[in-house]
Amino acid sequence: MLMTIAANSLDLIGNTPLVLLKGPSEATGCEIWGKCEYANPGGSVKDRAALYIVRDAEANGSLRPGGTIVEGTAGNTGIGLALVGNALGYKTIIVMPDNQSAEKMATIRALGAELVLVPPAPFANPGHFVHTSRRIAEETDNAIWANQFDNIANRKSHIFGTAEEIWEQMDGRVDGFTCAAGTGGTIAGTGLGLKAHDPDIVIALTDPHGAGLYNYYQCGELRAEGNSVAEGIGQNRITANLDGAPIDTQFRVSDAEGLAVVRQLLDEEGLCLGLSSGINVAGAMALARQLGPGKRIATILCDSGFRYLSTLYNPEWLASKGLETLKEAAA
């Protein structure tokens, strides 16, 4: 068995395992593979973008020694930036909506980053966490604004990282790829990278309720319907990372569907995942049914369920959101 030895902690980012998901594969007659992004040092797919954004800022001279990294995030990018910042000697200021999981907030504080919490707000509101983080960066000496939504270093991390890894791990036999979009970096970058190898690979957006991209790619109108409690996914504008994304088809997945997949993967395969992963796998199953039996499809397992013990894995919290408990969702 090949064992990985890393010269430094940042070399641990990426090169994550790919796992065949038995239940979803059997249910669809396809091979459905999950990229285990929770195996990154910061516990999520966002470590990739964090590293690329910081390295890009160093290369262009905007981030100088002793500087500060400022970002607005649902949490996972903040965790990734804090870890990368610690490893490279930078301070980190993270702005988060105050309705995200307590585990993410506690983790960011534990990593030594300064955490600024703001009320949830529409993007058009100047109090939105993204705009707040930009203002803080502008007012802080020797600071950069990571700007993960519109900084295309984000999607480059997936063009040159995630996509290449999937292509190699699947021996160049990939029929489809799908995931949800938050910044859009993962789906756009992985899609562009995979299609550079084979233009016939089908790239599907899996959109949660409450996001506008499903309607945009279906009929050209950014229109949201419903709502979702999934953290870090769901977008109502075309970010710079999404611009030119090679989306071939699209699916909309409810929280209830995603929750049922989360429970199934926990009960039957011992994988403890967040809701975004459940939504992604449900989307991969929808793509499998659309493409037909025998196809090979990859998706992203974004982060661990351990990051959501106070929410997704808490029956009282689920009930407060009008959702069934995980046990009921699997029934």
Those residues with Cβ within 8 angstroms of residue 233's Cβ, 6 or more apart along the chain or in another chain:
180, 181, 182, 208, 211, 276, 279, 302
Tell me how many domains the chain contains: 2
Q: Kindly state whether residues 262 and 323 are assigned to the same domain.
A: yes
Task: Please say whether the beta carbons of 215 and 223 come within 8 A.
Answer: yes
pLDDT at 4: 79
Helices (H) and strands (E) in the chain, counts: 13, 10
Q: Is 127 in the same domain as 178?
A: no
CA–CA distance, 51 with 4 (Å, rounded to integer): 19
Residues 318 and 235 in one domain: yes
Judge whether 177 and 299 are in contact, CB under 8 Å: yes
CA 179 from centre of chain: 8
Q: Give phi and psi for 304, each to the nearest 5.
A: -90, 150
21 plus 81 within the same structural domain:
no
Q: Could you tell me where the DSSP H helices lie in the chain? A: 22-28, 46-59, 76-88, 102-110, 129-139, 153-157, 163-169, 185-197, 213-219, 255-269, 275-291, 315-320, 326-330
Question: Distance between CA atoms of 77 and 146, rounded to whole angstroms?
Answer: 10
Rounded Cα–Cα distance for residues 158 and 52 (Å): 10
Q: Determine, yes or no, domain membership for 2.
A: no
Q: Would you call 152 helix, strand, or coil by DSSP?
A: coil
Q: Which two tokens stand for residue 131?
A: 């705009």
Domain boundary among 145, 174, 196: 145
Same domain as 230, residue 88: no
Report the run of H or E that residue 177 belongs to, with start and end: strand 176-179
Q: Is residue 152 situated within a structural domain?
A: no
Give yes or no: 327 in active site.
no
CATH number at residue 281: 3.40.50.1100
- CB-CB contact of 200 with 149 (8 Å): no
pLDDT in tens, the chain (331 residues): 567 799 999 999 999 999 999 999 999 999 999 999 999 999 999 999 999 999 999 999 999 999 999 999 989 999 999 999 999 999 999 999 999 999 999 999 999 999 999 999 999 999 999 999 999 999 999 999 999 999 999 999 999 999 999 999 999 999 999 999 999 999 999 999 999 999 999 999 999 999 999 999 999 999 999 999 999 999 999 999 999 999 999 999 999 999 999 999 999 999 999 999 999 999 999 999 999 999 999 999 999 999 999 999 999 999 999 998 766 666 6
Instruction: Pick the catalytic residue from 22, 35, 46, 295.
Output: 46
Token pair for 291: 């493409």
Q: Tell me whether residue 223 is in a domain.
A: yes
Domain carrying residue 134? 46-145
106 and 251 within one domain: no
What CA–CA distance (Å, rounded) separates 50 from 78? 8
Residue 94 lies in a domain: yes
Is 261 within the bounds of a domain?
Answer: yes
Q: Which residue among 85, 119, 145 closes a domain?
A: 145
Last residue of a domain, one of 90, 113, 145: 145
- Residues 273, 247, single domain; the answer is yes
Same domain, 179 and 290: yes
Cα-Cα end-to-end distance for the chain: 38
Residues 215, 312: one domain?
yes
CA distance 33 to 37: 12
Residue 151 lies in a domain: no
The H or E element containing residue 40 is: none
pLDDT in tens, 55-75: 999 999 999 999 999 999 989
pTM here is 0.96
**211 in a domain, yes or no?**
yes
Q: Report d(CA 319, CA 324) in Å as an integer.
A: 6
Torsions phi, psi of 68, nearest 5?
-125, 135
242 with 126, same domain? no
Judge if 17 and 59 occupy the same domain. Answer: no
Q: What is the largest CA-CA distance in the chain?
A: 57
111 and 220 both lie in a single domain: no
